[in-house]
């Protein structure tokens, strides 16, 4: 386990829309380099960088054309190496985004695989043995290559699925076992990609759709887990300080498979949704725990979360996110104050937290945008970073019609510049809570988590992390709970008071209290 993860706070950067250094309307690596001091000022000591590989950008770079080359719009391989070097001088780690399950249909591997003549790449992707066979339970593209067969895609039609085999083989004529030489060759190609960038200086990988490798595999996905265990063996032997973090949202399985941490994502009926996104399916009314209407149920979250914590204790971490590039920003449903409390909570939980760019200033989800590079409903979360009051909020000097996506030009558009001198701003609140985490091991990744007060359909929620109590009342009403600890407040949003027998939380408040 890389020791640096214990105190890591990640910042996710969507490179297209973070900072444009050359005025072409698209963010780039040199723009990111220019903002490293800002990232450090937040208290973030690690970055997750969304894909920067060469791509036709049918899916914003998650359709990789060349795993070994930086996309021209972002810069060069040398620029990325320089980013690693400068970030390391500032004690900032960099994770690249690894896309292991599929490539672009323009990838050279696929160009070779679709040829009628058999070659070393013929088995790199999943093909039926005849153009007339396309089982309906899978997604295939049919009749568009010289090769006599149809190929499986993982999601978008431009993303042919790499071949890691099938756990349950139902069509033996073309479905391969994970132990087949072609499937083993795919795993080895994946490891070669990882070695290339680790040797260049990256500190590990966030792994896209990490559970999607072996097909026709349910439950705990044992064959996919074997692949990641094999990767972890390579890392432990040759790159022991490198981290891998999975997009899986099943930490007991993924961490058991070798990942150091697993994302807690917005999935149907899970704990993350219950905290921040839950709605009534019929009325659309918000029922999230952190909503001000007070209609959430913290016990529904805890039933899942505590079980996952126990199952991963001492083995790996759970990664809370404020948001990511696939998820509507919390400000789509929450007011700025609701979001401020929710974001602060993220940094006070165990595990390795992730801050999505712009959330530190409360950027809005921009409604009604035309889909860009496969963004569709996610596009409004991917808009340019809002730095200041200059043209395009300081993101780019390009004319507005040349921007990758439009900037938020509304009257209430937030910026770093407008918040930096306001001690109560979202920006400075996030800085303070991250600093508090760094200063106290009890609040870091492997610190304990103990529920002090949590009742069904009741507020506040109080939990203990070592010598600290964290009390949360997101509702618009004053809330109280039995309380017998003697404490000093060290961080507050809103106010709390202790009369010796109970803790009273003012409306929409969060307090971190140090036990005497």
Which residues is 209 bridged to in the sheet? none
The full DSSP string for 55-71 is ---SSTTSS-SEEEEE-
Name, in order, each residue with C-beta under 8 angstroms of 156's C-beta and a sequence gap of 6 or more.
Answer: 58, 59, 63, 374
Q: Please calculate the CA angle 5-338-271 and round it to the nearest 5 degrees.
A: 55
**CATH class of the domain at 102-163:** alpha beta
Could you tell me the two tokens for 361? 């200033």
pLDDT at 226: 98
- Topology (CATH level 3) of domain 3-100+183-439: TIM Barrel (3.20.20)
Distance CA 259, CA 244 (A): 6
pLDDT at 233: 98
pLDDT at 265: 96
**For the chain, what are the domain ranges?**
3-100+183-439, 102-163, 449-515
Distance CA 358, CA 376 (A): 20
Distance CA 151, CA 337 (A): 49
Fold match, 3-100+183-439 / 102-163: no
How many Cα atoms sit within 13 Å of 511 on the Cβ side? 23
Asked whether the bond before 378 is cis by omega within 30 degrees of 0, the reply is: no
CB 258 within 8 A of CB 194: no
Nearest to 469 by CA among 446, 445, 453: 453
Distance CA 232, CA 239 (A): 9
- pLDDT per residue as tens, the chain (516 positions): 999 999 999 999 999 999 999 999 999 999 999 999 999 999 999 999 999 999 999 999 999 999 999 999 999 999 999 999 999 999 999 999 999 999 999 999 999 999 999 999 999 999 999 999 999 999 999 999 999 999 999 999 999 999 999 999 999 999 999 999 999 999 999 999 999 999 999 999 999 999 999 999 989 999 999 999 999 999 999 999 999 999 999 999 999 999 999 999 999 989 999 999 999 988 989 999 999 999 999 999 999 999 999 999 999 999 999 999 999 999 999 999 999 999 999 999 999 999 999 999 999 999 999 999 999 999 999 999 999 999 999 999 999 999 999 999 999 999 999 999 999 999 999 999 999 999 999 999 999 999 999 999 999 999 999 999 999 999 999 999 988 778 899 999 998 777 667 899 999 999 999 998
pLDDT at 502: 87
Distance CA 499, CA 156 (A): 59
pLDDT at 484: 79
Q: What distance lies between CA 390 and its chain's CA centroid? A: 30
Q: What's 158's DSSP letter?
A: T
Q: At what angle do helices 181-200 and 77-89 cross, to 10 degrees?
A: 60
Distance CA 407, CA 393 (A): 7
pLDDT at 316: 98
The full DSSP string for 223-258 is HHHHHHHHHHHHHHHH-TT-EEEES-S-HHHHHHTT
Q: Is the pTM of this model over 0.85?
A: yes
| Level-2 CATH architecture, domain 449-515 | Sandwich (2.60)
């Amino acid at each position: 386990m890389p020791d640096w993860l214990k105190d890591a706070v990640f910042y996710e950067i969507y490179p297209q829309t973070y900072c444009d250094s050359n005025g072409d309307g698209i963010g780039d690596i040199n723009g990111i380099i220019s903002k490293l001091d800002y990232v450090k000022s937040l208290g973030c000591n690690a970055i997750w960088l969304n894909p920067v590989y060469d791509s036709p950008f049918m899916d914003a770079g998650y359709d990789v054309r060349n795993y070994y080359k930086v996309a021209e719009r972002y810069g060069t391989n040398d620029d990325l190496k320089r980013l690693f070097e400068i970030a390391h001088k500032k004690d900032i780690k960099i994770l690249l985004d690894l896309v292991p399950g599929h490539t672009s249909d323009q990838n050279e591997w696929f160009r070779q695989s679709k040829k009628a003549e058999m070659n070393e790449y013929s088995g790199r992707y999943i093909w039926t043995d005849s153009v007339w066979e396309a089982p309906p339970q899978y997604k295939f593209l049919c009749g568009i290559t010289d090769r006599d067969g149809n190929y499986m895609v993982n999601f978008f039609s431009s993303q042919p699925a790499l071949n890691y085999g099938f756990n349950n083989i139902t069509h033996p004529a073309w479905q391969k076992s994970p132990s087949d030489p072609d499937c083993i060759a795919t795993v080895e190609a994946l490891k070669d990609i990882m070695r290339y960038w680790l040797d260049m200086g990256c500190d590990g990988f966030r792994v896209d759709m990490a559970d999607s490798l072996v097909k026709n595999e349910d439950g705990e996905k044992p064959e996919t887990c074997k692949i990641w265990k094999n990767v972890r063996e390579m890392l432990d032997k040759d790159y022991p300080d490198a981290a891998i973090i999975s997009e899986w949202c099943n930490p007991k399985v993924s961490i058991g498979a070798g990942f150091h941490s697993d994302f807690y994502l917005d999935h149907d009926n899970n704990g993350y949704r219950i905290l921040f996104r839950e709605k009534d399916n019929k009325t659309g009314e918000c029922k999230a725990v952190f909503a001000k209407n007070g209609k959430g149920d913290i016990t529904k979250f805890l039933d899942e979360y505590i079980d996952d914590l126990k199952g991963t204790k001492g083995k790996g971490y759970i990664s809370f996110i404020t948001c990511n590039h696939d998820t509507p920003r919390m400000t789509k449903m929450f007011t700025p104050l609701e979001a401020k409390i929710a974001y602060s909570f993220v940094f006070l939980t165990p595990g390795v937290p992730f801050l999505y760019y712009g959330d530190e200033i409360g950027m809005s989800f921009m409604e009604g945008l035309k889909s860009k590079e496969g963004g569709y409903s996610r596009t409004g979360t991917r808009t340019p970073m809002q730095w200041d009051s200059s043209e395009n909020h300081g993101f780019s000097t390009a004319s507005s019609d040349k921007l990758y996506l439009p900037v938020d030009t509304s009257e209430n558009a937030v910026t770093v510049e407008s918040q930096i001198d306001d001690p109560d701003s979202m920006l400075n609140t996030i800085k303070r809570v991250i600093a508090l985490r760094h200063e106290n091991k009890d609040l870091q990744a492997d610190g304990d988590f103990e529920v002090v007060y949590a009742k069904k359909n009741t507020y506040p929620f109080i939990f203990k992390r070592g010598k600290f109590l964290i009390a949360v009342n997101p509702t618009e009403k004053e809330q109280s709970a039995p309380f017998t600890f003697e404490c000093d407040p060290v961080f507050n949003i809103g106010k709390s008071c202790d009369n010796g027998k109970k803790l009273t939380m003012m409306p929409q408040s969060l307090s971190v209290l140090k036990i005497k």
